Amino acid sequence: MSKILVCGAGGFIGGHLTANLLQEGHELICADIKPLEFWFQINDKNKNYSLDLKEFENCLEVTKDIDYVYNMACNMGGMGFIENNKAECMLSVLINTNLLRACLKNKIKKYFFSSSACVYNGQKQKETFIPGLKESDAYPAEPEDGYGWEKLFSERMCRHFTEDFGLETRVVRYHNVYGPFGTFDGGREKAPAALCRKVIMAKLQNINEIEVWGDGEQTRSFMFIDDCIEGTKKIFGGKSTDVYNLGSSEQVSINQMISIIEDIAKFSVNKKYLLDKPKGVRGRSSDNTKIIKDTGWEPTITLKNGIEKTYNWIHESIVSGDNTKKFTRF
């Protein structure tokens, strides 16, 4: 049993990670800037703190007497949020910076940083169905403005804290994680949850049209949350301080994803394309060669199976009047 701090524990990935680590028997300290009633998942067995980790004093407090730190905390959302809140996203650099400083002072054994596929060079993502991006494709640097720059800079911070101070760090680049207990409305939701919600609402209201941002031909790969947690722990438990992709290589267009959701819903919709909305790069997918070689990990849950689980959870939440903002205990 280890004493583990999960930062961003009130968020989507952080909530699932916390539930998994608690099930393994670890002692958990959980921190998030959101008030406790807005955490996606929470358990009273943990020590739960609502505080701002951009402040160094708060980082010092929560890292005291801790063995390991998972930093999942940042200000982010789907493409609509990160394109319209670049400064807010970049302020998350203070979380990583001050956590690293606090980890040195409190002699943390190992530190994990959750990066993003948004760090990749935009010039390599101008076509649909591009080859999977390798870890080296982040350079020369031209990441997503705002959010991507913050993540890439924070990756370098981890690298240099390892090189200069001997702090063991682990870094992964997440590729579009989705699943139950995630945001599906309010402006921060990502494509899988947003499209599930739109099809569900269209079916419930008997409306045969949904709005789609862009022309629907932009491509991505999407990773189900259970695969994400397993891969995260594989990297954390390994010996390498290299940066790793953590994602699926199953690349699909937004239109193809809508077709999958229509099949699950047994309901067809017409698409109203909004070409002036944020849509990000034209194509992106994960090359998993390195992580498979070093850890043996690769996703096991297909997009169709993962979307079905996500659709059913969102449908139940909408029909019951519940949503991700409700205080959820596990």
Query: Domains (ranges, CATH) in the chain?
Result: 3-178+223-248+290-300 (3.40.50.720)
* Confidence (pTM): 0.95
**Could you tell me what percent of the chain has a pLDDT over 90?**
93
For the segment 293-313, what is each residue's pLDDT rounded down to a tens digit? Answer: 999 999 999 999 999 999 999
Q: Average per-residue pLDDT in the chain? A: 95
For the segment 202-244, what is each residue's pLDDT rounded down to a tens digit? Answer: 999 999 999 999 999 999 999 999 999 999 999 999 999 999 9
For the segment 26-44, what is each residue's pLDDT rounded down to a tens digit? Answer: 999 999 999 999 999 999 9
Residue 327 has pLDDT above 60, yes or no: no
pLDDT bucket at 330, cuts 50 / 70 / 90: low
**Residue-level pLDDT at 52:** 98
pLDDT bucket at 329, cuts 50 / 70 / 90: low
**Residue-level pLDDT at 78:** 84
From the candidates 70, 111, 120, 147, give the one annotated as an active-site residue: 147
- Whose tokens are 């390991």? That residue is 68
Whether 311 is catalytic is no
- Whose tokens are 């909408």? That residue is 318
Residue 87 has pLDDT above 90, yes or no: yes
Determine the Cα–Cα distance for residues 43 and 117; give it in Å rounded to an integer.
30
pLDDT bucket at 326, cuts 50 / 70 / 90: very low
- Whose tokens are 């539930």? That residue is 19
Contact 219, 129 (CB under 8 A): yes
Task: Take residue 260 and report the two structure tokens written for it.
Answer: 């999958």
Residue 165 has pLDDT above 50, yes or no: yes
Determine the Cα–Cα distance for residues 167 and 104; give it in Å rounded to an integer.
7
What is the Cα 75 distance to its own chain's centre? 11
**Residue-level pLDDT at 321:** 85
Pick the range with the lowest mean pLDDT from 146-155, 178-187, 253-262.
178-187
**Residue-level pLDDT at 79:** 85
Task: Take residue 245 and report the two structure tokens written for it.
Answer: 């992709």
Arithmetic mean of pLDDT, 240-259: 97
Arithmetic mean of pLDDT, 9-24: 97
Determine the Cα–Cα distance for residues 163 and 177; give it in Å rounded to an integer.
30
- Annotate the chain with three-state secondary structure: CCEEEEECCCCHHHHHHHHHHHHCCCEEEEEECCCHHHCCCECCCCEEEECCCCCHHHHHHHHCCCCEEEECCCCCCCHHHHHHCHHHHHCCHHHHHHHHHHHHHCCCCEEEEEEEHHHCCHHHCCCCCCCCECHHHHCCCCCCCCHHHHHHHHHHHHHHHHHHHCCCEEEEEECCEECCCCCCCCCCCCHHHHHHHHHHHHHHHCCCEEEEECCCCCEEECEEHHHHHHHHHHHHHCCCCCEEEECCCCEEEHHHHHHHHHHHHCCCCEEEEECCCCCCCCECCECCHHHHHHHCCCCCCCHHHHHHHHHHHHHHHHHHCCCCCCCCEC
For the segment 110-157, what is each residue's pLDDT rounded down to a tens digit? Answer: 999 999 999 999 999 999 999 999 999 999 999 999 999 999 999 999
Residue 324 has pLDDT above 70, yes or no: no
Pick the range with the lowest mean pLDDT from 60-69, 80-89, 152-161.
80-89
Which residues share a beta bridge with 56? none
